[in-house]
A and B are shown apart, each in its own frame.
Chain A
């Protein structure tokens, strides 16, 4: 299984900060699209993606146990 993490406005729109998904073998881009269509949330398109706490490109293949984070536009500082 894999853990999907959501933050900030995306977390509020989805209604939870964490979802479990069997994503092994999918690409990061496919996971992103699945979440976008399942929740009808175009704001997913604005997210950067991270796997195991590092930014990753969308052609990254997910392996068992990976933690996938949706990073909306950041605004620290």
Chain B
């Protein structure tokens, strides 16, 4: 079986992700594409540098797809994330969700991107005209353990 979740330094192709979830049972394929934004609160970004703990990050992406398949049993999910240097408008992440009916595909897609921002060890560094900074928005509620994370 093809990998449903992966991390790569190569440019992401939308069809590479959507083709993994398109199937006869699905009436909806929701595709979320996260791109590199030039301006954040008036500040110009020149480019982003993404870094990952790849072995763990791919496991956590797989975990997100399993969480979705538990909550929306008819859903199929594929997720690809790019790392390395990304320029403005480059695609950083693609999430494709297919479901029999559209409502579930929207909800599950939203769930996936929010969970990526909580539990997947990927970091981005913003490079501006006058400096650089690692961005991070921790969601943990217990020391050392992120929100909703189940310890196995």
Contact = CB atoms under 8 A, between A and B. Distances in A.
B107 interface: no
Nearest to B83: A76
Interface string A23-66: 00000110010000000000000111110011111100000000
A22 B37 CA distance: 43
Contact of B56 (A53, A58, A77): A53
Contacts of A71: 53, 121
A58 B125 contact: no
In terms of DSSP, what is the predominant structure of the interface of chain B? Answer: mixed
A75 B122 contact: yes
Contacts, number: 104
Nearest to A56: B151
A47 B124 CA distance: 15
A69 interface: yes
In terms of DSSP, what is the predominant structure of the interface of chain A? Answer: mixed
B119 A72 contact: no
Given A53-B59, A57-B151, A69-B53, A76 B146 contact: no
Given A32-B144, A48-B146, A58-B143, A75 B56 contact: no
A55 B145 contact: yes
Measured as residues with beta carbon below 8 angstroms from the partner, the interface class of chain A is 20 to 34
A56 B146 CA distance: 10
B136 interface: yes
A48 B140 CA distance: 8
Interface in B29-65: 34, 50-53, 55-57, 59
A32 to B, nearest CB: 7
B15 to A, nearest CB: 21
Contacts of B113: 77
Interface in B122-152: 122-125, 134-138, 140, 142-146, 149, 151-152
A55 B134 CA distance: 21
